[in-house]
Amino acid sequence: MKQNPIARRKHARVRAVERYGIELTKKTRREILLLIRQGKILQSRRISTSRSIHKVEYQGQTIVLVYSRTTKDIVTVLPPDCRELAETDPEVIAEAAAKAEKEEADAAMRAEHRAHFEKVFQEEQELTPCENAQQ
């Protein structure tokens, strides 16, 4: 369903004020679009053939928005803590890698303990009944 440009821009304008307190005037929109076209973005992720999510720095504030390559316009403005960019966020990637490393180390330690207890159990089973009674 195709939305007219006035309604689309109004939606983005409402979300910008709601989520960042920024008035998305004609001038502001053009400045942000220029940043995107010049590649002056902090982070980007393609979500479809025509749309992508961009994180841009504008007037000292980091803004996350959806950009349409078809209309060459801002579709909507996302909340600062949106999960859509989390998969490509370097901090999230580092955190996930550290978590995976810890889980791997824990699994290795559990396997080592399991092997040790299996060995002890097997040694106890191999003892003769007399040796078992003496200990």
Per-residue pLDDT at 43 exceeds 70 = yes
Per-residue pLDDT at 135 exceeds 60 = no
Shared-domain flag, residues 49 and 99 = no
Shared-domain flag, residues 121 and 93 = yes
Over residues 89-115, the pLDDT tens digits come to: 566 556 656 666 777 777 778 888 888
Overall domain count for the chain: 2
Shared-domain flag, residues 62 and 108 = no
Q: Other CB atoms closer than 10 Å to residue 14's CB: what's the count?
A: 13
Residue 134 lies in a domain: no
For residues 112-128, one letter each, b for 16 or more C-beta atoms within 10 angstroms of the residue's C-beta and e for the rest, the string is eeeeeeeeeeeeeeeee
pTM for the complete prediction? Answer: 0.61
Mean pLDDT of 10-21: 92
Residue 103's domain spans which residues? 89-127
Shared-domain flag, residues 96 and 36 = no
Across the chain, what does the average pLDDT equal?
A: 81
Over residues 60-90, the pLDDT tens digits come to: 999 999 999 988 999 999 988 877 666 655 6
Residue 38 lies in a domain: yes
Residue 60 lies in a domain: yes
